């Protein structure tokens, strides 16, 4: 987007540009929960191998639907889908469900390492990982990135505890009824931080009035 300041044209910051079409929040939530929901139902009814196949198909369908609706693919769903396909394929190749069970551990560790590692190099990667349209000051991004980085490692630890100590059905249920609610609660808990560090956009007065 081009703006005019002091008679000169300047480019608006990249973060402020529209990035593809918007999608209804309810539909977005359904797309995110759909594959996990079918994974849990298939695991409960047919076992983990069938559930893994259902999950692999589900993430591909979700990516295609998301791209069709928004004409773009956020990095986090793409990386997650790739991990599902890779670990799902390993599950079938070695006939060992451990691979699909450790997938959440690996992917959460990747995101956590990327976020905290980015902070070490003064490169907050949270806007990319979460596909965020937020506009925060530098301190706000650093704090939020640090918190999310730790949270991803907490999710990785919880996944390890659950799959190693519980049945397949309980573990698959935890992915839907444990991980998702925890993520929502954690995200809501960050609202005060976001509000404190949010950059307020100054709208110039209309010159025609």
Indicate whether 35 belongs to any domain.
yes
Question: What's the total number of domains in the chain?
Answer: 1
CB 176 within 8 A of CB 36: yes
Rounded to a whole number of angstroms, the distance between the first and last alpha carbons of the chain is: 23
Indicate whether 111 belongs to any domain.
yes
Indicate whether 1 belongs to any domain.
no
CB 141 within 8 A of CB 196: no
User: In whole numbers, what is the pLDDT of the chain averaged over residues?
Assistant: 84
Nearest to 90 by CA among 52, 47, 62: 52
Residue 42 or residue 15, greater confidence:
42
Residue 147 or residue 3, greater confidence:
147
Q: What is the pLDDT of residues 140-154, one digit of tens each?
A: 999 999 999 999 999
Q: What torsion, rounded to 10 degrees, do the Cα atoms 105, 106, 111, 112 define?
A: 60
Which tokens belong to 125?
A: 């990667």
Give me the domain span that covers residue 125: 22-197
Average pLDDT over residues 186-201: 90
Lowest-confidence pick of 11-15, 81-85, 157-161: 11-15
Indicate whether 80 belongs to any domain.
yes
Indicate whether 54 belongs to any domain.
yes
Indicate whether 3 belongs to any domain.
no
pTM, rounded to two decimals:
0.79
Lowest-confidence pick of 5-14, 135-144, 153-162: 5-14
To which H or E segment does residue 51 belong?
helix 48-70
């Amino acid at each position: 987007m081009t703006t005019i300041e002091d008679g000169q044209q300047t480019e608006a910051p990249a973060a402020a540009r529209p990035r593809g079409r918007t999608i209804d929040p309810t539909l977005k939530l359904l797309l995110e929960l759909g594959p996990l929901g079918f994974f849990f139902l298939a695991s409960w009814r047919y076992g983990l191998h069938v559930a893994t196949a259902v999950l692999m198909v589900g993430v591909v369908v979700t990516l295609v639907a998301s791209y069709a609706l928004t004409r773009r693919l956020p990095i986090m769903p793409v990386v997650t889908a790739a991990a599902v396909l890779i670990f799902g394929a390993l599950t079938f190749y070695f006939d060992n469900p451990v691979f699909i069970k450790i997938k959440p551990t690996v992917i959460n560790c990747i995101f956590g390492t990327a976020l905290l590692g980015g902070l070490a190099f003064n490169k907050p990667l949270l806007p990319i990982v979460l596909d965020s349209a937020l506009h925060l000051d530098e301190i706000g991004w650093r704090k939020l990135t640090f918190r999310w980085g730790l949270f991803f490692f907490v999710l990785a630890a919880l996944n390890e505890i659950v799959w190693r100590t519980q049945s397949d059905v309980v573990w698959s249920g935890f992915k839907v009824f444990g991980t998702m609610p925890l993520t929502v609660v954690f995200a809501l808990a960050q609202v005060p931080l976001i509000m404190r560090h949010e950059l307020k956009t100054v709208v110039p007065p209309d010159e025609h009035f």
